[in-house]
Amino acid sequence: MRSTEFTSRTRVAPLPIFLGREQTLNEVAVLCKPRRRPSDLYSTLATISITITRQVFPMSGLFNGTKKHVATYTEPAPTEISSILQGGYHHPLLRQWQNERQLTKSSLIYPLFITDNEDEATPIESLPKQNRWGVKKVVPYVESLVAKGLKAVILFGVPLAEGSKDLYATSADDPNGPVILTIKALRKACPDLFIICDVCMCEYTSHGHCGILREDGSIIREESVRRLAAIAVNYAKAGAHCVAPSDMVDGRVLAIKRGLIDAGLAHNCMLMSYSAKFSGNLYGPFRDAAGSAPSFGDRKCYQLPPSGRGLARRAIIRDLGEGTDAIIVKPSTFYLDIISDAKELAKDVPICTYQVSGEYAMLHAAAEKGVVDLKTIAFEAANGCLRAGATLIISYFTPDFLDWLDEF
């Protein structure tokens, strides 16, 4: 026996060994001898390179004659041409070529929270790396992002002053309020930046709901859409390139479109409707940031129920008929089927999705826990939206993406 030559520390180069039957230590030892490799061991179709160490240990199994499990193979079969895919993505560039839609800087829209204290730059605790900005502080920040390739922002007003909220969202379109002042300041400082204004009442109403209410708490549709349309028109007059109603009151798209036409602004203000906005559990950090949580009840009677795919389809069709120029699906990752429905129903308009505050905060939390890598998961989420059919993404990751996209 040559067994004494082998210990658990024996290191030997990989050798082809026939694995269809059990190896004796003698055979292994023979194989180890340089230039003495019996040709019958090579002629077999089922050969594999392994290390002697891996095959013969534990030694006990071979010495006491117990059977050791060995890997076996089924019969060889010819390779089908259709089985081979990996040639198409073996290179980093090829992996990008597989994308039907590429994430680019012009696909991204950055949400900004603007408050009425012009010098404010306060981090929002539940929304990592995001601030509540005053107009004086937001302008230089946005300028720095434009220098990196930022193309579009969406503005949310957050009035905090005493008495700034009432039943009619009067402060929403106050000419000296945060949104209108910021539209004007950004138009001046960043002439190429595309400025979208979210149109809603919840940040400006004393009760935190998105419309004007009856005594019983339900929304008075007619009065609400007329007020929403006036707010949108005032944003357009101040220079907004796009108004995006997120209130979910029936018929507001039509009212806003009419308002823009009557004001002579329909030709240079886009109307991008949040057509499919769901009343899920993902807006918490936004409501903290904007101070817009309803003081009673919830938004379930106007935002869509999370399983209401049919309702979302009807809302998309309705908004197209009412004159929307683009469709927003919100939230994003949990609603990819809705994005895909929107792409199918609204083939001829841009499809945008909003990766909302809760989605963003969850990804940050998971990254902090070590569950995911932040950059990788941010791209995976964005690419999921693009794959489903969106070409535009409203995302709090935008400043990060502007850096990350430069790395390619």
Ligand X SMILES: NCc1[nH]cc(CCC(=O)O)c1CC(=O)O
Binding stretches for ligand X (CB under 6 A)? 198, 200, 202, 210, 246, 283, 286-287, 292, 356-357
Distances (CA, A) of 96 to 126, 217, 383, 386, 397: 34, 51, 11, 13, 20
Is 330 marked active-site? yes
Backbone angles phi, psi at 150, to 5 degrees: -60, 135
Q: Which residue is nearest to ligand X (CB)?
A: 286
d(CA 379, CA 126): 21
| Residue 89: CB atoms within 10 Å | 13
In the bound state with ligand X, the residue whose beta carbon lies nearer, of 241 and 287, is 287
Among the listed residues 277, 300, 369, 375, the single catalytic one is 277
Is 277 marked active-site? yes
Among the listed residues 330, 343, 369, 375, the single catalytic one is 330
- Least distance in angstroms from the C-beta of 210 to ligand X: 5
- Least distance in angstroms from the C-beta of 82 to ligand X: 44
Residues 6+ apart with CB under 8 A from 325: 270, 271, 272, 349, 350
Distances (CA, A) of 117 to 161, 337, 377: 8, 41, 35
In the bound state with ligand X, the residue whose beta carbon lies nearer, of 31 and 227, is 227
- Least distance in angstroms from the C-beta of 74 to ligand X: 53
- Least distance in angstroms from the C-beta of 293 to ligand X: 8
In the bound state with ligand X, the residue whose beta carbon lies nearer, of 31 and 358, is 358
Q: What share of the chain is helix, strand, coil (3-state, %, to 5)?
A: 40, 15, 40
In the bound state with ligand X, the residue whose beta carbon lies nearer, of 47 and 279, is 279
* Helix (H) or strand (E) run with residue 230 in it: helix 221-238
In the bound state with ligand X, the residue whose beta carbon lies nearer, of 283 and 397, is 283
- Least distance in angstroms from the C-beta of 283 to ligand X: 4
205: nearest Cα among 292, 279, 290? 292
And the tokens for 342?
């929107």
Q: Which long-range contacts (CB under 8 A, 24 or more apart) does 64-71 make?
A: 67/22, 68/22, 70/19, 70/21, 70/22, 70/23, 71/19
Active site members: 277, 330
